Every structure is written in C-alpha cells, then in structure tokens.
Amino acid sequence: MHIRTDGHDLRHHGDVEVRDQNLTDLAVNVRTGTPPDWLRERIAGSLSSLAAYPDGRAARAAVAARHGLPVERVLLTAGAAEAFVLIARALSVRRPFVVHPQFTEPEAALLDAGHTVGRVLLREEDGFRLDPGAVPEDADLVVVGNPTNPTSVLHPAADIVRLARPGRVLVVDEAFMDAVPGEREALAGRTDVPGLVVLRSLTKTWGLAGLRIGYVLAEPSTVAALERAQPLWPVSTPALTAAEACSEPAALAEAEAAALRIAADRAHLLAGLAEFDEVRAVDTAQGPFVLVRVDRADLVRERLRALGFAARRGDTFPGLGPQWLRLAVRDRVTTNRFLQALDQAVVYVSR
C-alpha cells in the first residue's frame, strides 16, 4: 500500500531503488560489510533454540543495562517501524505532529490508525535545524528524528527537550544515533524528560534490516501500553540474540569505531560534492548519509542508475521536492567512483 499526501509517497523506501538491480547502493542507509562475522555466528547459534517460544528477558535486560535503565523502561520491537505502529495505535492522542523532512513511516502509521496528522516543516534556508517554537502548543504527540533522516542534521538535545511538556508524548527517533561518534545529543537513557519516548534500531549499524530488531525506551506506563498492543512473541529468538549481542561492551566499542570511520568517509564525500557548482549538500550532516540538492535530480538519478549507482530520491519526503537526493556514506574508493559517475551524470543532463 502507498500512502500519498500532498504528492508524497510516504511508503516509498530506499530499498525499492536497489531491489532486483545490480547497482552500487547509495540509496539504503545500512552500513556495508555487515553483519560482522561474530554477530552472524551468534545469530546462527540461536537457531538450535527455535523449537522454544522466544524469551526476551535476557535481551531486554541487556538493552536496559546498555542505557543504564530499569527493564520496565525497555520494550523490544520488530524494528523501529513496529514501534511507530504501536505508538499510533496504543496511545490516546488527539493532535499529533511530525517534524519534517524526516522518515515518513511515523506519519504513515498515524494516518493508518485514523489520526489527522499535522506537519512542522523545517526550512532549507535554516539548514533544516529544529525550531522548537514552530511546534503548536496544543500538540499532544510530537515526532522528531535525531539525527534526522534524510537531512542528516543532528539537533541539540537541549532543543529537543524544549519540546517536552506535561500531557505531551515526545517521540525521538534515534535510529541513526549510534552512527554519531560519542552519541552526542542522545536522549536515550534520560529519565528526567516528561513524556519522552526514544526509539532505537539495530538494523542500520549492524546490517540487520532483514531480521527486524529495535526497541523503545520510555516511562514504564508507556512501555506497558505499547506492550499490550503487541502480538504475542513479536520478536524472534534470532532477533533477541542480536539485541543482546549488540548491547555488549565489545559491540558498543565496535559501533563507536564504525561511527568514527563514517565521519571521516562523510567528510570525504562532502569535500568531493563541494567541487560541483551544480550540487549543494547539507554540509552540517552528522549521520551516515548526506542530502544534496541538484537541478533535474530525477534525470541525474536515472543517469546514475545507468552508470551503476542507486541514489535515494528525495521528493517522497514532505518538505522536499524533486531536486533532492539522499546519498549513503560509503568507503572512499566507492565514493570516488560515485563522484566520477556524478560528474558524468551532471554533464549528461545539462546538455
């Protein structure tokens, strides 16, 4: 099903750009070369337990310990996408707002649940930075990403906290926060912010999109309400094993090292993009992807496909138009090949 509002296909995701195609993937934000061998082995080892029903206690405790929280504040989900559906269906809200441009699944889930959804559109001229004052006071649910997909902007935690108030649910999608060195500006682990709900995903950094594993961090009453809306045994045994493994100190150290490499590779990509007069990037990017503006982006994207590269179209994100593309950060060799292809594509389209 495709949900279109104001011409934006809210159910279009980057995997469509590469499905059944032999292309170098810059459209999906999953880290390449993942999952690592040690994680594959841990997951494979769980297969001997498939005859038993999943038991999430160890994984839940591991996630809680990773963030310094009691287990009552943790809910494991089949990816962050399930969490958006649970929030839309289980919480009693009247005036939900989504801060755009951002991942479109929260709005799609709210619409599916019968809500009328308001939008707060961040502006290019402001660098897509969050303005807490732009959110209506009577909004009783606010969704914001940090760092935000697709802009790659990392909002100061203090600005996001300014959105919190009694009677409001503040949902912060931190699916890409573990790709930020030091996870600076993270709110995961905070218990002093009223109504805070933090969502995390293990699919991006660890290459587990096909396994579906994520989690919610929130007040115990909110966790209980969301849990009641879940089906029985919503997270499989292999996914629970992955959640436990990825919360261990060695895994966190590996994720931090990967975040530092991503930061260096992103700087290389941004430096290359700065050489193009025709391309303007959101150069404050802090996530594992970069948003760029280029004239006739649809034709540039198609030419890139012909040259072997998949880029994510930007026009499906509310607040963006057809001149935008999102590019996943890759290693320097891949980026250099892409920049050569981009040069060819821009020249070809400008003829």
3-state secondary structure of 288: coil
pLDDT at 51 over 80: yes
pLDDT given for residue 138 in this prediction:
97
The per-residue pLDDT for range 188-206, each reduced to its tens digit, is: 999 999 999 999 999 999 9
Q: How much of the chain, in percent, has pLDDT values that exceed 70?
A: 94
22-42 mean pLDDT:
94
Beta bridge partners of 142: 97, 170
The per-residue pLDDT for range 286-310, each reduced to its tens digit, is: 999 999 999 999 999 999 999 999 9
Rg (CA), the chain: 20
> pTM of the full predicted structure?
0.94
pLDDT at 2 over 60: no
> Of 108, 82, 13, whose CA–CA distance to 239 is shortest?
82
Task: State which amino acid sits at residue 307.
Answer: L
Starting at the edge strand found earlier in the chain, the sheet holding 214-218 runs 74-77, 214-218, 196-201, 169-173, 141-145, 96-100, 118-121
Sign, CA dihedral 261-344-285-29, equals negative
Q: Using N-to-C axis directions, what is the helix angle for 79-90 and 105-112, rounded to 10°?
A: 40
pLDDT given for residue 22 in this prediction:
86
Question: What whole-number distance in Å separates Cα of residue 39 and Cα of residue 245?
Answer: 7
Range of lowest pLDDT (15-24, 66-75, 228-237, 339-348)? 15-24
Token pair listed for 29: 């934000």
Q: Peptide bond preceding 150: is omega within 30 degrees of 0, i.e. cis?
A: yes
